[in-house]
Structure formats: C-alpha cells, structure tokens
Structure 1
Amino acid sequence: MSWLLRRLFGRLPIGWLQLTHNRTRFAAALAGVAFANVLVFVQLGIMNSMAAATLRPYEFFQADLMISAEDANAFNEGGNVARQWLLQAMADPDVTDGMGLFLGNVPWDRATKDITFATFGVDPAHPAFLASDIAADASLLQVQDAAMLDRLARGLARNEAAAIRPQSPLSFETQGRTLTAYATFAGGGGFGGDGYMLVSDQTFLALFPARSSNAPDHILLTLRPGADPSQVIARLKTLISDPSLRIRSYADAAQEDLRYQQTRRPTGIIFGFGVLIGVLVGLVIVYQVLSTDVADHLREYATFKAMGYAPRFFLGIVLEEALVLGIMGFIPGLIVGTAILTLMGAITTLPLTMTPFMAISVFLGTILFSALSGAIATRRLAAADPADLF
C-alpha cells in the first residue's frame, strides 16, 4: 500500500504512515467507516425494495390510461370509480377498450402461517389488460371461485406453489368461500401484504358482497396505436362529467404512486432520514479520526509550516488519510451490507438486493464525505501559528 500511494501522490505517503502508526486506532476508524456504509446500504436497500414493491402491482397489468378517484394517491388507496365513466370514456374515438379493476385484501388463515393476499378482481374476457405471463392463464379465472396465486408470497412454501397447476389445483377457505388456485404468477411480498392473488371480478364481488360491480377501484383504458395520450386525457376531462377524477397515463400513475410513497408516506420519509443519518455518522467518524490525528501531530505540521510548506501540502496529507479511510472502510462495509440485505431478502421475500448503482453511489458518497471531513479537519492547521506550538 505504501508503494502504491507513493506512486499515486509522487511523494512519501505521510498520511498512510500516520494512520498505520497506531494500528488499533486505524482498525477502529475503518470499523467506524464500514459501519456507516452498512447503515447506508441497508437503508438504501429498504428504500429500493419499497420502490420495487410499490411498482410491482403495476407490472401485472397493461394499459395506456387509468381513471381513479380524487383521493387515489396509491394503487391500493382511494375511493371507488363509477363504471359509467368507463362507458363515457369509450365514446372517445381513440379509446379502444376498457376494464374495471377491483382491489381488496383477502386473508388466508393457515395452520402454519397466515397469509394476506392483495387481491385483484379482473375481467377474464379482457386478457389484453394483463401482463403476458398472467394473460396466458386468464381463461382459468372464468370458473367461479377460481384464483391465481403469487408463488413468491410469504408463508407459501415454494414446493407447494410449484405443485399448483390445472391438473393439481390448490383449494383453501377464505372469506367464507372455497377458492381454488389453478395457476401461479411471480409477485412477491410487499409492505402492505404477503403476496398477490388474481380472481375474476365476479369472484371478487362474491368475496366482498358489500362491493358493487358498478364501482371498481380503477378503470384501465387502452388507446388505438399512434394516439397521443395527453390529447386523449384532455378530451376525457371534458367528456367525463366528474371533474374530480384523476385521469392519467398508466406510467404516470405508477410514478406518482412511487413519489407519494417516498415523500409523503411515513415509511419513505423514515428510510430517507435513515440514509441521511448514515452519511452523517460516517462524516462525524472520519472527521473525529482525522481531527485527532491532526492534533496528535500538530508539532510536526507546525515544523513543516515553519519551513514554508503551503497549506495545500497539509490538505494533501489529510485528504490522503481521508481517502485511505474511505476506500478501505468501504470494502468491508460492502461485504457486510450485501450479506445483511441478502439475509433480510430471504426472510422477508422483499426485493432487497445490492445493486451496482447502490455500490457505486455509496462508494462515491464515502469518498466525498471523507474528503469533506479531511477539509474540515485541516482548518485547525490553517489558523495555527508555529511560534505558539513550541
């Protein structure tokens, strides 16, 4: 390492030699930087998993536009939408098809582990609104009380899910009815439920007798090829007689849901503050180490200053120490952070993974806050008078 730093800086690696002079303190400093990295990795991983879980149900469907109630800030929130707006929307020449979408939570009380499915009621006669892997089995939902289960749901054994097929369906009791799962799809547990389930709209209404077929949660629309969604939205806002409805492109609805979860929901704000706290912890740790090192070698620095060395020389030494701490502390932080996210992902079935973007972002952030800590630590040297130090 000493040889590499000598080649990199073109001088004796004073910063490295000062850090490694006290190996115990050097190891403690690296552990502190690694801990800050682990904290940031875990918080970022949870934030990313929340984003993935928020967008995941949107991936089950295909649509160009979505009509929702005024208070529908998220996919699973808000009031119902009258089906008559679907009929009015179909009057637009660019709207080719539409489907009402029903949402509700269905519990499955099991002897091993209770499961809560975020359940979607769809019209099996409109498979074009479903993702391709789900649309292939959509005809199975035409049978009353038929269902498609999320094979990645928490509490559902993988071998049990793998055995579900039309020839060997799985029946279970819920909401006072017997549902039969004939197929599965890939979903995964989220923050609001253990997994997902798809049923026909008629089966959904049988599970929720208080709901009406004339009041779905959302209305999905498809447009003719080449149609401009923004122009269609503008026309629909004048065509539909309820001005309070939220008429958006399907992609915009997903992004608005994500922003809502990240900036207005308590969980998103808490995770964001967790990342900030991790950065501040790393900043304080590196600053404390460098400040202590500067104080311990203040006489040596004063000698250099009296010999005429410029302030950038001292800044270079302290920045060298900061970079060493940042880089060498990042490596164990990356290893431990990846292990923790992998373990958490296996236990919770949330999409908790270490991504290249996360690794690069945290690495650059570590170098940045290390350099910032070093720059702050050298302020004491700039104000020091060599004559006062002897």
Structure 2
Amino acid sequence: MLQKLPTAWLQLRHQKVRLIVALAGVVFSVVIVFMQFGLQEALFDSAVRFYNGLEGDCFLLSPRSNALIAMETFPKRRLSQALAFEEVEFVTPIYLGQGQWKNPETRDYWRNIFIVGFDIRYPIFSFPGAEENRKKLELPDVVLYDRDSRAEFGPVVAEFEKKGSLVTEIGGRGTNRRIKVVGLFKMGTSFGSDGNLITSHLNFLRLSPSRREGSIDVGLIKLKPGADAQKFKDRLQNYLPKDVKVFTKQELIDFEKHYWQSSTAIGFVFNLGIMLGIMVGVVVVYQILYTNVSEHLSEYATLKAIGYRHRYLLFLVLQQALFIAVLGYIPGFIISMIQYEVTKQATLLPIAMTFERAVIVLVATIAMCFISGASAVQKLKAADPADIF
C-alpha cells in the first residue's frame, strides 16, 4: 500500500483548486464537530461544578427535583434521621436560591445570582477560597463572592482586592437587603448561573424571608473514613420514607448530566450539530473524489485492463481520502484550539481541548473521508474497459 502513495498524492495535487476545496470542507467539518463536542462537554462540566466541589459522600434530594436549576425542597428532619447510622460523621443542610444582585458600580438591579446557604460549622466546600473564608460567614449579612462570575455583576473582584470588602444589596420578591462581600472563592459559571454567592444558612434565610428553615434543597452526608458509600446509600434509602431520594456523589453528578442530556433540547441540538458537521464533510469529500474518479476513468479502466484488481483501485482512492483527512484535520484542530480559548474568555465556560477528544475527532474525520472515498469508487466497480474505450 505504501508503494502506491506517490500516485495517490500526485493525482490529488494535479488539481490544486479542487484539493483546496476538499480541504476547506474537511476543515469546516472538523471545526464544527470540535466546537459541538467542546460546548457539550462544557455544558456538562459546568452543570456539575457545584456537586464536584462538595465534600460529601451521600446526598438527599426531593424526588421532585430534576436538576440544580429545578430543585424542590424536602423536610430537614429527613437529614437528621441519617444520624441514626454509626457510619455518619456529620450532616448539613444546603439551601439553594436566586437573588437579584445590585451592581455596585451602576447601582441597577438586572442580574440574577445563584445563592448557596450552608451550616458553616462544617467544611463542605473544596472550592479555592471557600474554606479559607468560611469563618468570616459567622457575621450577619455577609457573603463570599465567586471571582469567576460574569463581568456584568460589576467590578466586584477589583473593588474587593482594593478595599478588602464591598457593600451592595440583594433584592428578591419585593425585599432588598444590604449585604457585605467579605471574601472571594472560585467556582465558575454554568448554563444555569452567571454568578454565585456562598453564605451561612442563617444569612440565606435572611435573604429569603419566605423560606422556612425546615425546608432544604440538598442534604449532605459525610461518612467516617473507611465507610462504603454505596452500601450506606442502599441502607439509608430503605430506612427513609419515599419522600426523599439518596444519591452517592457520582450518582448525583450523573443525575445532573442526564437531565441536561436527555430532558432538555440542548443535548439533542449538540448531537444534531455533530451529525450535520460530519455530513457536510462526507458530501464535500465525496464530490471531490467522485469528480476525480470520473475525470480519470479511462486511466483507471486501463489499469483494470492490464490486470489490476478493483481492490488496488479502492486502495488508491482511499489513500487520497486519507491525505485529505489528515491535511484537513491539522488546520481544523488549530482553529478549534483558538476558538476554544475565545469561547472560554467570552463565556467563562470550562471548554478545553482534551487528548481523548482530539483522537476521537481524528478517527471520525478519517472514517468520514473513507466513507466518501468508498462511495466514490463504486463507479469503478461496474466500469468495463471495453465500454470505456
């Protein structure tokens, strides 16, 4: 097969404009597929950032909860019942909600911010800055601000680093409350949240006066070292009433990802985009290779007449397809890396190139071009040298 490479390459480069068109089609397809894969993974990764940052082993949720942005409350006493098991080290309630952030620079209410309240006696967050500033939340009306929140919330990080604190207001349901930023942490945005605050559960209840302390969104359970989370989860689920569901941490992450992938249109749209990108590449490469085969049909027929088998001709066209795939993939990869960085800066989503994704798209590109080549060479299979000449 290697002996035939010069013939395949020379035939491709004979029509330089046609080769450039083929490579442009592959580059376009590669960029589309990379961007769809990247945005889809960024969606999933951003959706589970909060759960990944929780230092818990098992979690309680209401059976009516669908995702982090669609939580339903359940009785706090269910969490207390978990203390009956000797494997439990501690439990803590987590309250989730939204508030309207008053931009400290423009003094306008116009941006919803995600608020997390928790029992500050326990270190439950692994986000950088959260544990270091946890004790500061003992004071009333204070919060930690996510330094990776969108710029539309105002120059909060710059002002805090300059002055050591920042005062603004949180509004919601007809009430405004003055709050003070006493520290920064790092979590990041998601498709459902442009910014985040962490505070004590008491401060959370002050910010949400209509919320009852006995109704919580997530129950975090920390097990003692050596305890089996899966076995404990099964035992606790059988012990508790059916008005609450128990998850291990990985199950909770998978639960959130499943919602975005199957229960919203976003997962379908991304998968459709990947398929359309591949289809564009298949059509463009097929058209180029088919035209190439048609224009050189007499040469191929001559090779068949002197004894070359159809398999040889197939290899020849597939080699052209391989050249197109590799030469189109390289600039497509570079352009995608640039677009990833631009998208990350613009949206603050965790989009990045991975080795696994790079290999998958390379293999898909080669397969795409091989399908086009195999389809284009079908014209040769029925070609009779006597008819052509």
TM-score range, shorter chain: over 0.9
Work out the CA distance in 2 between the residues paired with 1:158 and 1:145: 20
TM-aligned CA distance change 1:278 to 1:87, over 3 Å: same
Q: How many equivalent pairs are there?
A: 381
Q: Please point out which of 12, 17, 20 is paired with 1:19.
A: 12
Q: Tell me, yes or no, if structure 1 residue 171 matches structure 2 residue 167.
A: yes
Work out the CA distance in 1 between the residues paired with 2:146 and 2:313: 60
Work out the CA distance in 2 between the residues paired with 1:158 and 1:309: 72
Q: Deviations over 1:298-351 (max 9, x none)?
A: 111111111110111101110111011001011111121122221121111112
Deviates more, 1:319-328 or 1:102-111: 102-111
Give the corresponding residue for 2:22. 29
Give the corresponding residue for 2:344. 345
Work out the CA distance in 2 between the residues paired with 1:61 and 1:11: 58
Give the corresponding residue for 1:228. 228
Report how far residue 244 of structure 1 moved: 3.8
> Does the CA-based 8 Å contact 2:47-2:192 persist in structure 1?
no
> Does the CA-based 8 Å contact 2:189-2:348 persist in structure 1?
yes
Q: Deviations over 1:96-140 (max 9, x none)?
A: 21111111122213228844322111111112x222631221111
Give the corresponding residue for 1:42. 35
Report how far residue 238 of structure 1 moved: 2.8
Identical pairs, percent: 32
Q: Tell me, yes or no, if structure 1 residue 95 matches structure 2 residue 94.
A: no
Q: Please list, as runs of the form range in 1=range in 2, the aligned pairs for 1:45-194 lying within 5 A after superposition.
A: 45-110=38-103, 111=106, 114-127=110-123, 129-131=124-126, 133=128, 134-155=130-151, 160-164=156-160, 168-175=164-171, 176-194=176-194
Work out the CA distance in 1 between the residues paired with 2:362 and 2:44: 22
> Does the CA-based 8 Å contact 2:43-2:191 persist in structure 1?
yes
Work out the CA distance in 1 between the residues paired with 2:180 and 2:150: 19
C-alpha RMSD over aligned residues: 2.0
Q: Please point out which of 2, 6, 11 is paired with 1:9.
A: 2
Structure 2 unaligned runs (5+)?
Answer: none
> Does the CA-based 8 Å contact 1:81-1:219 persist in structure 2?
no
TM-score, structure 2 length as denominator?
0.93
Deviates more, 1:188-197 or 1:228-237: 228-237
TM-aligned CA distance change 1:332 to 1:94, over 3 Å: same
Work out the CA distance in 2 between the residues paired with 1:368 and 1:171: 57
What amino acid does structure 2 have at the position aligned with 1:52? D
Q: Tell me, yes or no, if structure 1 residue 384 matches structure 2 residue 383.
A: yes
TM-score, structure 1 length as denominator?
0.92
Structure 1 unaligned runs (5+)?
Answer: 1-7
Give the corresponding residue for 2:218. 218
TM-aligned CA distance change 1:12 to 1:373, over 3 Å: closer
Report how far residue 275 of structure 1 moved: 1.2
Work out the CA distance in 1 between the residues paired with 2:52 and 2:276: 33
Deviates more, 1:151-160 or 1:366-375: 151-160
> Does the CA-based 8 Å contact 1:70-1:244 persist in structure 2?
yes
Which secondary structure state, in structure 1, belongs to the residue aligned with residue 180 of structure 2? strand
What amino acid does structure 2 have at the position aligned with 1:214? G
